[in-house]
C-alpha cells in the first residue's frame, strides 16, 4: 500500500475516510494498493488521479513502513501536484489542507501518524518563503 504526503504552499493534504465503516470519519494520507506491474510511485500517481482527480508526481520516500493488516504495509512518499484541484472522488468525503501547527486538528488513522509527523516536520523546517519548493 502507498500513501501520499501531498504538500502544497507549506500545507499537507488530509483526506477523511467515508468507508469502510470501521474507518469512516478518520483522516489519512490518500493512496491505495499497488497493482501488479506497478511500482509504488506509479501506484501513488494512479491513486491520486482516481481518488482526488489530480495529476501529481511522487518525490521522496518517507522512511519507515507501517502495518495496516496482515500482509499489507503502508509506505509513504511526498508528492507534488502538477495539475488539478483535489476533490474527494473515491473513499473520502472531505479534504483539508493543514499547516504544521494544525496537525492535531484531525483524527489521523494510527498507521498514518508517523508519516504525517515526518511530513509536517519537513514542512516546518522549510522557511515560509520557500515552502512552495517543497511541494
Q: What is the pLDDT along the chain (135 residues), one digit of tens a residue?
A: 999 999 999 999 999 999 889 999 999 999 999 999 999 999 999 999 999 999 999 999 999 999 988 889 999 999 999 999 999 998 999 999 999 999 999 999 999 999 999 999 999 987 654 544 444
SS3 34: coil
Nearest C-alpha neighbor of 81 from the set 58, 112, 47: 58
- Write down the architecture of domain 2-125 according to CATH: Alpha-Beta Complex (3.90)
SS3 content of the chain, % helix, strand, coil (to 5): 30, 40, 30
Whether 111 contacts 72, CB under 8 Å = no
Could you list the beta-strand ranges (E) of the chain: 2-8, 11-17, 27-28, 31-32, 55-69, 72-83, 92-98
pTM recorded for the entire structure: 0.91
Amino acid at each position: 500500500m502507498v500513501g501520499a504526503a501531498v504538500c502544497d504552499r507549506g500545507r499537507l493534504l488530509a483526506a477523511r475516510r467515508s468507508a469502510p465503516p470501521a474507518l469512516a470519519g478518520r483522516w489519512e494520507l490518500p493512496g491505495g494498493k499497488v497493482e501488479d506491474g506497478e511500482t509504488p510511485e506509479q501506484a501513488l500517481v494512479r491513486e491520486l488521479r482516481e481518488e482526488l482527480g489530480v495529476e501529481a508526481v511522487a518525490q521522496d520516500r518517507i522512511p519507515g513502513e507501517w502495518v495496516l493488516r496482515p500482509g499489507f504495509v503502508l509506505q509513504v512518499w511526498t508528492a507534488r501536484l502538477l495539475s488539478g484541484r483535489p476533490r474527494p472522488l473515491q473513499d473520502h468525503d472531505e479534504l483539508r489542507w493543514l499547516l504544521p501547527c494544525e496537525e492535531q486538528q484531525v483524527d489521523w488513522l494510527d498507521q498514518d501518524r508517523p508519516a504525517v509527523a515526518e511530513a509536517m516536520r519537513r514542512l516546518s523546517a522549510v522557511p515560509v518563503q520557500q515552502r512552495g519548493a517543497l511541494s
